[in-house]
Structure 1
Amino acid sequence: MLRLAWHDAGTYDKTSKTGGANGSIRLLQEYSHQANAGIKIAIDLLEPIKQKHPKITYADLYQLAGVVAVEVTGGPTIDFVPGRKDSSVCPEEGRLPDAKQGASHLRDVFYRMGLSDKNIVALSGGHTLGKARPERSGFDCELMREDSGGLLKLPTDKALVEDPTFCRYVKLYAKDEDAFFRDYAESHKKLSELGFTPPLSALSYKSCQKSKSQLMMQTAAGVAVAAALVALVYLSEFNQKLG
């Protein structure tokens, strides 16, 4: 779910104002990109929820699923504002990060989105939920702890400790999980809103405490997403009334 959210949003180009969190990854043309291998599984898991709640856009659903995936695995609470619109225009292939590349590639990709070095390192911590770590199922800063074997041996991971600027954040997060959670939540929110400008008057998901409590009682991301949709429908309708 987290990968689906990231890959839908991570196609954003701040110069051309194309791509971003717009649900286009649901389309065959985009989910067939090499970087999206296997992502159709997550798309299919969320489709019944979309059919049951047709007012929710795919763009909002995918980003909500990513937020929930982080929370139910012990990660930070991430602010979420609904209102994204779906697009049927797919970006060209090659906009997502390539794990076989190094620091310069990471900067090219993330700077194109409008993200910073801090965002790059913080978001890399989300890899603790990835398939490359089968022995782990929780969200934490273990990826940053090179001396404990937490760092994956991919070129993009090595770049985090070999690049001086990246390494400064790695060292900070390795010893301060609170700082990591804070910066991750900020970076995730920024990524999830690429190509989307929340209205200033909008009510956020984070502020809906009752639904948040219901959400955190769930034990699986898929079930949690279904529970959270009640809040999302309410928020969407409320924000529409605000204009």
Structure 2
Amino acid sequence: MSFAALRSSLRKSVNVRAVQRVGRNNANTFRRYTTETPAPAPKKSNVGLYAGLGAAVVGGIAFYIYSSDSDAAKTAGTALKSGAQSAKVAANYVPTKADYIKVYNKIAEVLDSAGDVDYDDGSYGPVLLRLAWHSSGTYDKETNTGGSNYATMRFEPESLHGANAGLKVARDLMEKVHEEFPWISYGDLWTLAGVAAVQEMGGPKIPWRPGRIDGFAAQATPDGRLPDASQGSDHLRNIFYRMGFNDQEIVALSGAHALGRCHRDRSGFDGPWTFSPITVTNDYFTLLWNEKWVWRKWDGPKQLEDKKTHSLMMLPTDYVLVEDKSFKKWVKAYAEDQDLWFKDFSNAVSRLFELGIPTSQFVSSEPWVLPTIDEQSEEKKQ
């Protein structure tokens, strides 16, 4: 049987099973498949229905994919999954915003559980933001490959790329969340974790919307698409321009180094960038701009340390931001105005998380602004 004939057969099979399943559950829902004008989206959660439809679609796709070991088969399977996601969006058969807030809240619980095991500075927020960043930052606008849509860091060799060292910690944490919410795609889960990390650590709101699908190892990206911290300004521009960002956005995104620290057993570098590595502030810029930085004398890779306390560090890719004329003006601007950086950082991160995702897959025409745990608590009190 040709692929075209098989694809047609699969579509018919999936559509019939989906209609039968929906029809048994709700007559009004059934009518959405038989009318040209969809009924208004239901207020109650569609997560159960979404999971059922997803199982039907994936079941049909799996029949084709696992009968063939070719990369072409897996690429075709991904295309079918993307089409299925777009169809569910068009028919309003997707989890609701409230469903995703439940996942957000679970991630927020995970952030603080780091204190129970004495992990780093007491929060998993920085490593979860790094997971979201690195799963999105592989996008190439020329080939329209990479990005968070397929969550290909689940596969080797991408999971073993040097830039992803240490991120198994974050992936394992999110795997536990995925077990509780199996209907969410890994791409949505990982980027939502990045949103929760920024917002729950005092940062700006990051507009976000779901709709990513899970791909296969065939969609994994080659090594070298993420920044190499030992390089200079030309390298930074090559990496970020490939994604579609400009100089201002390069600096804005670099401000994520306000969070977390480097580890010798991962990147080889060592130490935090700021004195408050689990709080989102513009301290990265104020320190980079105002402190005296000298090259650290040690047996590790080339990095800088602050001359005053010798307790902070900057990477070569950080220091070039104050050496390059175009970058430097934005470092100064963000050091002087945290609100400006929050605004620009929010815009850049939101766009980073959506690179390469077909618009038809998104469940909302505009990104959502999700409430923090504190905001939800305040709302309940009112």
Same fold (TM over 0.5): yes
CA contact under 8 A between 2:141 and 2:242: conserved in structure 1?
Answer: yes
Residue 54 of structure 1 corresponds to which residue in structure 2? 182
Q: Does 1:100 align with 2:241?
A: no
- Match of residue 163, structure 1, among 320, 324, 332: 324
Instruction: Go from structure 1 to structure 2 and tell me whether the alpha carbon gap of 1:203 and 1:183 turns closer, same or farther (over 3 Å shift).
Output: closer
Q: Tell me how many residue pairs correspond in the alignment.
A: 214
Deviation at 1:121, TM superposition (A): 0.3
Residues 122-173 of structure 1: per-residue CA shift (max 9 Å, x gap): 0111011121417422111111122146884321011100111101111100
Instruction: Go from structure 1 to structure 2 and tell me whether the alpha carbon gap of 1:197 and 1:183 turns closer, same or farther (over 3 Å shift).
Output: farther
Cα distance in 2 for partners of 1:152, 1:104 equals: 22
Deviation at 1:203, TM superposition (A): 5.6
- Which residue identity does 2:260 align to in structure 1? G
CA contact under 8 A between 1:81 and 1:198: conserved in structure 2?
Answer: no
CA contact under 8 A between 2:230 and 2:315: conserved in structure 1?
Answer: yes
Instruction: Go from structure 1 to structure 2 and tell me whether the alpha carbon gap of 1:107 and 1:59 turns closer, same or farther (over 3 Å shift).
Output: same
Q: Does 1:3 align with 2:164?
A: no
- Match of residue 153, structure 1, among 314, 330, 334: 314
Deviation at 1:28, TM superposition (A): 3.0
CA contact under 8 A between 1:143 and 1:152: conserved in structure 2?
Answer: no
TM-score (structure 2 length as normaliser): 0.53
Higher relative contact order (CA 8 A, sep 6+): 1
Greater C-alpha Rg: 2
SS at match of 1:101: coil
CA contact under 8 A between 1:128 and 1:138: conserved in structure 2?
Answer: yes
Residues 195-215 of structure 1: per-residue CA shift (max 9 Å, x gap): 114458536331x5xxx1436
Residue 145 of structure 2 corresponds to which residue in structure 1? 18
Instruction: Go from structure 1 to structure 2 and tell me whether the alpha carbon gap of 1:213 and 1:3 turns closer, same or farther (over 3 Å shift).
Output: closer
Sequence identity of aligned pairs in percent? 44
Cα distance in 2 for partners of 1:215, 1:28 equals: 38
Residues 73-104 of structure 1: per-residue CA shift (max 9 Å, x gap): 11000100100112212101111000000100
Cα-Cα RMSD: 2.0
- Which residue identity does 2:137 align to in structure 1? G
TM-score (structure 1 length as normaliser): 0.82
Cα distance in 1 for partners of 2:368, 2:171 equals: 22
Q: Does 1:214 align with 2:377?
A: no
The correspondence of residues 127-206 of structure 1 with structure 2, limited to 5 A, is 127-131=257-261, 132-133=271-272, 135-136=275-276, 137-145=278-286, 146-148=289-291, 152-199=313-360, 201-202=364-365, 204-206=367-369
Q: Does 1:114 align with 2:244?
A: yes
- Match of residue 38, structure 1, among 166, 170, 182: 166
SS at match of 1:6: helix
